[in-house]
Amino acid sequence: SAGADGAVRLWKAGASRLERVASLPTEVTRVCFSARESRVWSSSGSNSLRVWVWDAEGPPTLLAAPAEKFRSVASARNADVLAVAAPANQVRLYNGAGQPLSSSFELPFKVGNLALSAAGDILAVSGHNGELLLYELPKFRLRWSRTVQVDGVPKMEFTRRGDELVVGGDGFVAEIDVSDGAMRVAFRPRQLWRVTASPDGRLLAAGCLDRAIRVWDREQAKEVACLQGHDGAVNALAFAPDGKTLAAGTSAGSVALWHVPSWQELGSSKTSLAAINDLTFSADGNTLAIGGRTANDGGQIILWETNSADQEKQSILDKE
């Protein structure tokens, strides 16, 4: 278990799953791994905005002085670059050790979401009124800007190849060409809440408020699966790096693992969180980081290690 002091404790959970937990004073909204450091970065709180860095061996530490506030964080999969947004319409680049790689860059609006390309050379920024900007790093050279018709903040992430930006809006998932900003609507899932792309870019998964995940095959141009049975809205989604597992986190604090492409459930577990806001796999796929809100409105980061039961069941399904 983990206490309010931020101490980390280890225990064996069901099915011999090793968990590591860190407690934070406010709700965790984003989690990501740094590429070249064994550290988890997270953003937390709606009023007390902070970015925390955790090496999973001791208590989490603040990125900067306690007086400094940060709104969101994003990491590059293959480069030692993280982007951090501040409430004052600014964004700054860091490495995994927490050292600044750039000075603060002023944006034309308050940041909603950030996304970094796998190589860490392109930054996408979304605003609260559908604004989208694409910058070339490290000099923050604007490549293009456009507006997406959404009520709130567009959900977005780069494909692994880095040539497209997948964006979710009000009832649609779109693909945007990174080179020129041209947009094409891929499919229209109902009650969309979260969107993610498979590592090879072929599959798009949409987490929905009706507790379902809808999976779209881009090559076949059709929906190939509707995954149901979750205990809440699907707030968080992530494919494993090998593309064989899809993890889903719910508004009721549960995590489900789905096998790709059989779409059979590998298993589901209730976490200590009241609601899950984000989750992501480590680069080797052996660890799943989960962030969210506790019952007392605090925050937690949970690290799950892939166990032998997960691997055995996945191996059986791979052969079927």
> Which string of DSSP letters, residue by residue, matches 185-245?
EEE--TTEEEEEE-TTS-EEEEEETTS-EEEEETTTTEEEEEE---SS-EEEEEE-TTSSE
73 closest CA partner among 97, 44, 101, 100: 44
168 closest CA partner among 118, 237, 250, 73: 237
Angle at 42 between CA 285 and CA 210, to 5 degrees: 75
pTM of structure: 0.87
The whole-number mean pLDDT for each consecutive block of 10 residues of the chain, a chain of 320 residues, reads: 35 53 89 81 72 80 68 89 88 91 93 92 92 96 92 82 89 92 90 91 92 93 94 94 94 94 91 94 90 92 73 55
Q: What is the pLDDT of residue 307?
A: 57
What pLDDT digit, counting tens, does each position of 119-170 carry?
A: 999 999 998 888 999 999 999 999 999 998 876 677 899 998 889 999 988 7
For residue 100, what are its two tokens? 């600044």
Q: What is the pLDDT of residue 1?
A: 31
277 closest CA partner among 262, 260, 294, 258: 294
What pLDDT digit, counting tens, does each position of 251-294 carry?
A: 999 999 999 999 999 988 999 999 999 999 988 888 999 999 99
- Distance set, CA 96 to CA 36, 79, 110, 119, 299 (Å): 7, 9, 24, 14, 22
Contacts by 264-271 with C-beta closer than 8 Å and gap 24+?
264/317, 265/227, 265/229, 266/310, 266/313, 266/314, 266/317, 267/15, 267/309, 267/310, 267/313, 268/230, 269/13, 269/14, 269/17, 270/231, 271/302
Q: What is the pLDDT of residue 112?
A: 87
